[in-house]
Structure 1
Amino acid sequence: MVYATLADLIERAGEDEIRQVADRDDDGAPDSDVIAAAFETAGNTIDGYLGVRFQLPLTVVPANVRGWAVAIARYHLHRDGAPDYVVRDYKDALTALQQAARGLQALPGLDGIAPAQSSTGTIRVDGPAPVFSAEKLEGWL
């Protein structure tokens, strides 16, 4: 799923940077298919993390998810090596996604998937019969 737009990307990185990294045909404008591929990669990454805790597709796109999508897409647009600040934003986004997936970071407007619960509330263990039992150890104790 796509969680951000070209306008979001330009707002964060600036039009000049986006033109430099996404204008692959040298016509002076960012290529829409390059931008779409970067956003698809970002969306797949986000879904991979959040899918363990939230129902996909997300019904609401919180601002932090949009920011993570921009950071991930921006990183992937820099195919010849991203500057340190872009790499830092990318790593921060992945760290935040990991925290959100573990429930350590809230995503406003989204309800998590309820964890599966045991129907009986009892613990059951299945396995082979014990090698040493009270009967087999009789006389040794």
Structure 2
Amino acid sequence: MPHHSARSFSPHFLTFLVPPVTYATLADLIARAGESEIRQIADRDRDGEIDADVISEALEHADNLVNGYVGTKYSLPFASVPDLVTTWAIDIARHRLHYQGPPEYVEEDYKRAIASLEKVARGQISLPVAGVETPASSSGTVMFSAPDEVFDARGLRGWKCL
């Protein structure tokens, strides 16, 4: 059986569960951080150009992370992406692009984005999404059925535990 490293295995299964939606774009990253910073952190082959695959990976990572949090409370994909979600995706992708360690201000933006997403998942922050109802929460009751006992005290008579 082949071994897959964490790097070679990507959570593409989400594309089957949620149609792909991009919450942020390269233009959004540049608007937030400036072209100079984005070129510096996304030019991995050092040819002076922003590497599209590096940007795509960071944006996909941000999208998947956002979906993991907001998907617990909202039906996805959104008909239109709330500005808050775009901001959080930018902060997450920018943090991801700083693979050698983000500056403190990028780290703080990332932490705020994750904290906000956690609040969305807990229902403490509501997103301004028109026409979307949040999934109904469970009452907490667990219901199941199981087959009859196979091994009971009578059937195990004479057996000893070691």
Same structural fold, with TM-score higher than 0.5 when normalized by the shorter chain: yes
Report the TM range for the smaller structure's normalisation.
Answer: 0.7 to 0.9
Q: Distance in 2 between matches of 1:102 and 1:29?
A: 41
**2:17 equivalent to 1:17:** no
Q: CA deviation at 1:117?
A: 5.4
Equivalent residue number for residue 137 of structure 2: 115
The amino acid that maps onto 1:111 is E
TM-score, normalised via structure 2 length:
0.69
TM-score, normalised via structure 1 length:
0.79
Q: Distance in 2 between matches of 1:50 and 1:96?
A: 10
1:20 is paired with a residue whose SS is helix
Matches of residues 83-102 of structure 1 in structure 2 within 5 Å? Answer: 83-102=103-122
Equivalent residue number for residue 50 of structure 1: 70
Q: Distance in 2 between matches of 1:15 and 1:36?
A: 16
1:70 is paired with a residue whose SS is helix
Give deviations 1:10-41, integer Å, cap 9, x for gaps.
01111000000001122212111000000000
Give deviations 1:59-87, integer Å, cap 9, x for gaps.
22100000000000000000000000000
Asked which structure has the greater CA Rg, the reply is: 1
**2:91 equivalent to 1:71:** yes
Gap runs ≥5 in structure 2: 1-20, 141-162
Moved over 6 A (4+): none
The amino acid that maps onto 1:6 is L
The amino acid that maps onto 2:70 is L
Q: Distance in 2 between matches of 1:117 and 1:60?
A: 30
The amino acid that maps onto 1:39 is L
Give the paired residue count: 119
The amino acid that maps onto 1:68 is W
Q: CA deviation at 1:58?
A: 2.3
- Percent identity over paired residues: 51
Gap runs ≥5 in structure 1: 119-141
